[in-house]
Structure 1
Amino acid sequence: ELIFKLTTIFSTLHTPAGYRYAYRMGYLYQGSKEVIHSVRVQMGDAFNSSTYFWHNWSDLGRNSYTPTQEYVEMFPWADGKPFNWEETEAEGKLDEMFAKGTLADNNLELTRDPRLYETVIVNGLPKMLDWSNNAGLMSGQPYELWVGGYDAGNNSRDETMRFATGYDNMKYYIGTEYQRQYCQWVTLRLSDIYLTYAEALLQAKGDNAGALTWINKVRERVGLGKLEDCNPEKNLTSNKENLLEELLRERVCELGMEDARFFDLIRYKRADRFEKELHGLLIYRLDEKGNRIETKWFEGDQNQGAPQPVHFDYERFTLHNIRRYWWDYGFDTKWYLSPFPQTEINKGYGLVQNPGW
Structure 2
Amino acid sequence: MTEPAGPAESDAELTEQNVLDCCASKVFAQLVIAGVGATCKHNLKSVFIHARELWWNQTPISGWLEAFAAHPRIGDMNELRARFGTSAASSREEQAQAAEGASDEVLQELARKNEEYFEKFKFIFIICATGSSAVRMLDELKRRCLNSPVEELMTAAAEQMKITEIRMRRLFISKGWPLDHDGAAAPAASAASRAGVRTAPGPGRGPSGRAAAQAAPSGAPERPPITTHVLDIAAGRPAARVKVHLHIHAPGSGLHRSEPGTGNGAVWELLADSETGQDGRCTDLLPAGYPVEGVYRLTFGTARYQAHATLDGAPAQTGVAETLHKAEAFFPQASVMFRVERGQHYHVPLTWSPFGYSTYRGS
TM bucket normalised to smaller: under 0.3
Larger radius of gyration: 2
TM-score, normalized by length of structure 2?
A: 0.24
TM-score, normalized by length of structure 1?
A: 0.24
Instruction: Name the structure with the higher helix share.
Output: 2
